[in-house]
Amino acid sequence: MPTVHFTDAEGEVRDVQGNPGDSVMETAVRNGVPGIVAECGGSLSCATCHVFVREDCLSKLPPMEDMEDEMLYGTAVDREDNSRLSCQLRLTDELDLFVTTPETQV
């Protein structure tokens, strides 16, 4: 099963198993991972599911579309080169993904 390792701003790590096809955001929210708010439920409207992706995992992910790119300019904690919105990241079969959640999403 795909696994996402969420590290929060304090360094605490939570490993969550998800289902292929689900988004990283859904996987986090359903399991109550703090640090992911996701007000809009994945419709790319709120930028409150911001994550920093560990550099070596970036290439496993689909490229960013314009809307996500623009939304990332409005995140509560400023974007970095490895920023993504986790609602746009789909889990695949053997994905092992490491992300860090920002200090705040709103």
Partner 1 sequence: MGTHTAEQPAPVAAGTGTTAVPTRTGLLIIGASQSGVQLAVSLRALGFDEHITLLGDEDHRPYQRPALSKEFLQGTVESESLIFRSNEYWAEHNVDLVKGEYIVRIDRDADGSGVAHASSGRQFPFKRLALTVGARARKLEIDGGDLDGVLYLRNADDALALKARVGDAKDVVVIGGGFIGLEAASSLQKMGKNVTVLEFGPRLVGRAVGEETAEYFLQAHRARGLDIRLNTSAARFRAASAEGDKQTSVAGVELQDGTVLPAQIVLVGIGVIPNTQLAEQLELTVDNGIVVDRFALASDGTTVAIGDCANMPNPVPGSEPGERIRLESVNNAIEHAKVAAYSLTGRREEYAGIPWFWSNQADLKLQIAGLCNGYDRTVLRRDEERGKFSVLYYRQGQVIAADCVNAPLDFMAVKNALAKGRNIPADAAADPATLLKTITTDS
**Positions in the binding site for partner 1 (CB under 8 A):** 22, 26, 29-32, 34, 37, 39-47, 67, 70-71, 73-74, 106
Contact 17, 97 (CB under 8 A): no
Q: What radius of gyration do the chain's Cα atoms show?
A: 12
Q: Which is nearer to partner 1, 52 or 79 (CB)?
A: 79
Closest approach of Cβ 25 to partner 1, in Å? Answer: 10
Which residue, 61 or 77, is less far from partner 1 as judged by CB? 77
**Min separation Cβ 29 and partner 1, Å:** 7
Would you say how long the chain is, in residues? 106
Cα distances (Å, whole numbers) of residue 65 to 1, 7, 39, 59, 94: 27, 25, 20, 15, 24
Q: How far is the CB of 51 from partner 1 (least distance, A)?
A: 17
